[in-house]
Structure 1
């Protein structure tokens, strides 16, 4: 089956109005041309700048009026008594005019054997209620992986022809990742991104993938409740979490290659604030080479009834369009807390999210982070919706040493100049974020004094810090006790 076959079936059913939503107007008109030739049917195209254009075969629409005017054009079309396909390009602004709507309806209610079929082509179009029962919606297929590969090869040949026959440098793994990341885009958008990647440096390599993901996100207009996280991490930037790292490494191939019927669905990261949950979410996307989308529950909520659920549904649909990707739901308990003080909005949000988690078929790996799992519905944390619950505990002495080394290196400090065993012992009870801030504090002190950072300076910063494990010791211990036999240690 293809687009021409499917569109022809709609016309065979004598549907008077066809709504074709697309940004690819030229491709849509080419599709209509193929269908019109197959049906031996006249084809015309109207636009506000050109009026009615005769596209090369069938009868013409003759009129002395200015057919760039939508009302006059529709009146001329209404007078026709021969079947035809008439494309109305960017007609959506005129559908708020009652007279225009009535003229369209008059044409649609004409004799089905002789009336023309109106095909409304626009990037987005909502039909008035009185026309919806007379309309059929049609959407052109997105390119398949084989078609994307053909576009890549075509653009590579064009570049080679313009550059002395030099071949575009790439490898099969990067090409596969590129084709995965282009899924959900139109032919035209895919071609532009492929061309941009090739013409930048004559190569398609891993450095092109983040930029393509960013451009794809912008093309899909996802700004709002979903945000694109530009800075992902490598697991080398995350101290500890060996259990989580091993678990993810085992499932990387199954998720990226679709080599298993049981594709990994996602994880819940529960733990102490500052323990590295957010960093781990970023690292999953970075290591797997996937775009990272962050769902902001605060931006979801709307004062109008039903709008919050609609926002969530649209966000999840857009995440599927970006697939394969990692969807990071940060501090999920703030959006799904149990309670009845919000007119049932939280319950409806829960239902929408739980249904999607159970039924989604696109490769969207969900990473939920939470500081308090007690407020979450049991249905969310059961196996089947998410694969595992990991507990991110405070780092032990060995992991704290790794964290010191990571953050000192990030700030152009040589870890070998510091007494790391002493620092890791002195920072017992510190989270990764608190260790980082101790280093930052020490650097500020040294900058003010005009001295170099030393172990003594860091020990002083550590001594002046009251970690969360002290400030909220009872609560953190209760969380640890709860997680001890209910979760997997990350």
Structure 2
């Protein structure tokens, strides 16, 4: 249901007090007024607002009594509702969270007013940016989160802005929808600023403004602290190896479309990527976004945690709300085990945040494909990786010989070198036990030395010497790597590599069971 439907339902049920959680006060007031008019368009209904700067004001222009303090405002509202209990007024208290935490008397009066409004047709709405409701009021209120604007709302705002400014518009109807879609996840005010900036840039709206709005969205989402927006153009050709994982992804590439839904196919939920650091887990998340041509949002679990009570949970709710609005998209949760890094030293905040993430992953209906990566699988509770949250759990092992050849080829080509000019087979043999990140570093190190020596072009010998200078993770952290590989051999995940590598691992499992 939409926020309009939720509010209308609660008002029809005569809920006396609603806490509307949003940073979009202007949009919230418009929504409340629409709900109020839809409920009763007669003169027996009004939207009465109070804030500490302006006191009480009426949307319909009625004369309002003076109320300079929150105590006075609550007294006047109680008096007005008692004088005419059949009116269907909405009383909106702006930023009232500032007062209910500061004054026990205000908190008590607010509770008394909620009880009194039960016998009337009027209701009280508190607009606030935080859902941190005092425990004393929890039994008397319902909390409604206002999501960011939908695509339809953004498209309507864009059309209204074009009409208002009379700007030259070279966009087709589909183009306008794409421009509005680029702003999904922004508030109405942020989207309007992005559209306005596009208009004043060259006084023309065209296809070139779509990337500009996306850039605005990246900056805004980054400012939310917990989310980062990526424009990913990586393809499967940019990722060496991981053939089984690529085949799995290719099979599900079209599963987000309407044809798949009509066929009865649910949208993929996500995958967990477990394995040795440097084997390409993060690169795979970017590759999925590029392959499926979906936006990529990275959830920074560490940035979720705030110092104030309830702040971490509020940041998570906001991040997940933005993600669902942007959907269909890919949500990348990097090193998910770090959400439990503080253990029990934070009053249980990390457990609550982690539990909320898992619950959302299980219950979400929006087409959000979650890619969760983890290096330390031992830090994750057993229920994290169960089916229902993820469609598949892949293990990224040390690359095979064939995969190392692919990885060398990818990184040489990325640095504008012809792989055919190198003995890639020799390099792959020398790099046995090296992860993809270490192979990339060997190529980069060879380039640095060749540039300092002339500069001149690099050779196979340069890269081979760079390989030998690197101490691979499989050697420096042998025990940790072996523990992770044992996890795969125990059959707890599916190998992401070539089929022959997976068959070898499965053969090893059978030998150990025999």
TM-score of the aligned structures, taking structure 2 as reference length: 0.73
* Alpha-carbon distance change, 270 to 178 in structure 1, aligned in 2, over 3 angstroms: farther
Change (3 A) 1:463 1:170: farther
- The residue aligned with 1:267 is 271
Distance in 2 between residues matched to 1:119 and 1:193, nearest whole Å: 30
Tell me the alpha carbon deviations over residues 237-281 of structure 1, each in whole angstroms, 9 at most, x when there is no partner.
Answer: 222223222321221221365833422112222333322122112
CA distance in 1, matches of 2:452, 2:16: 77
Q: Distance in 1 between matches of 2:340 and 2:413?
A: 38
Structure-1 residue corresponding to 2:171: 168
Query: Match of 1:254, SS?
Result: coil
Task: Decide which of 423, 427, 448 is 1:423's aligned counterpart.
Answer: 427
The 1:106–1:469 alpha-carbon spacing in structure 2 relative to 1, beyond 3 Å, is closer
Q: Does 1:92 align with 2:97?
A: yes
Matched, 1:458 2:467: no
Question: For each residue in 1:344-389, what CA deviation from the matched residue of structure 2 results, as whole angstroms up to 9, or x when unmatched?
Answer: 9988777655544332222222223344546655544343332223
Structure 1 distance, partners of 2:186, 2:158, is 14
Could you list the runs of 5+ residues in structure 2 that have no partner in the other structure? 498-514
2: distance between equivalents of 1:400 and 1:106? 71
Larger mean CA deviation between 283-292 and 416-425 belongs to 416-425
Counterpart check, 1:255 vs 2:256: yes
Paired with 1:317 and 1:27, the residues of 2 have a C-alpha distance of 17
Return closer, same or farther for 1:79/1:479 CA change in 2, 3 Å cut-off. closer
Counterpart in the other structure of 2:17:
17
**Selected match of 1:364 from 365, 368, 374:** 368
CA contact (8 A) 1:265 1:386 kept: yes
Kept after mapping to 2: 8 A contact 1:107/1:115: no
Task: Supply the distance in 2 between the matched residues of 1:86 and 1:313 (Cα, whole angstroms).
Answer: 26
Matches within 5 A, 1:233-244: 234-235=234-235, 236-244=237-245
List gaps (5 residues or longer) in structure 1.
Answer: none
Is the 1:182–1:216 contact (alpha carbons within 8 Å) kept by the matching residues of 2? no
Cα distance in 1, alignment partners of residues 60 and 307 from structure 2: 53
Show the 5 A alignment for 1:125-140.
Answer: 126-138=132-144
- Cα displacement (A) at 1:42: 5.2
Shift of 1:54: 3.9
Return the alpha-carbon distance in structure 1 between the equivalents of residues 120 and 383 of structure 2: 57
Give the Cα separation in 2 of the matches to 1:104 and 1:311. 27
Q: Given the alignment of the two structures, is residue 245 of structure 1 paired with residue 246 of structure 2, yes or no?
A: yes
Tell me if 1:228 matches 2:228: yes
Task: Tell me the residue number matched to 1:40.
Answer: 43
Q: 1:447: Cα distance to partner?
A: 3.8
- 1:437 is matched with 441
Question: Which structure 2 residues correspond to residues 374-385 of structure 1 after superposition, within 5 A?
Answer: 376-385=380-389
Q: 1:256 to 1:178 in 2, by over 3 A?
A: farther
Match of 1:483 in 2: 488
**Residue deviations 1:204-260 (CA, integer Å, cap 9, x gap):** 4673575255245247x3x2xx34264645023222223222321221221365833
For 1:121, the equivalent position in structure 2 comes to 127
CA RMSD across the alignment: 4.5
Taking the aligned partners of 2:185 and 2:337, their CA distance within structure 1 comes to: 30
Task: Map residues 32-431 of structure 1 onto 2, 5 A cutoff.
Answer: 32-34=32-34, 35=36, 38-41=41-44, 43=46, 44-56=48-60, 60-62=63-65, 67-80=67-80, 81-82=83-84, 83=87, 84-95=89-100, 96-105=102-111, 107-110=113-116, 117-124=123-130, 126-138=132-144, 143-155=149-161, 161-163=166-168, 166-168=169-171, 175=177, 179=181, 182-183=183-184, 185-196=186-197, 202-204=205-207, 207-208=211-212, 210-211=214-215, 213-215=217-219, 217-218=221-222, 221=224, 223=225, 226-228=226-228, 230=230, 232=232, 234-235=234-235, 236-255=237-256, 259-260=260-261, 261-296=265-300, 319-320=323-324, 322-332=326-336, 353-371=357-375, 373=377, 376-413=380-417, 415=419, 418-431=422-435
Change (3 A) 1:343 1:478: same
1:379-402 CA-partner distances (Å, limit 9, x unpaired): 443433322232333334454344
Task: Give the deviation of 1:436 after TM superposition.
Answer: 1.5
Give the drift of 1:50. Answer: 2.6
Whole-angstrom CA distance in 2 between matches of 1:343 and 1:53: 42
2:74·2:109 contact (CA, 8 Å) conserved in 1? yes
CA contact (8 A) 1:438 1:458 kept: yes
User: For residues 200 and 291 of structure 1, do their structure 2 counterparts lie closer, same or farther at Cα, with a shift above 3 Å needed?
Assistant: farther
- SS of equivalent residue, structure 1 residue 457: helix
Distance 1:175 1:393, change over 3 A: farther
- The more displaced of 45-54 and 466-475 is 466-475
State whether residues 168 and 198 of structure 1, in contact with CA within 8 Å, keep that contact through their aligned partners in structure 2: no
Cα distance 1:70–1:353, how it changes in 2: closer, same or farther (>3 A)?
closer
Q: Which range moved further: 392-401 or 437-446? A: 392-401
CA distance in 2, matches of 1:267, 1:376: 15
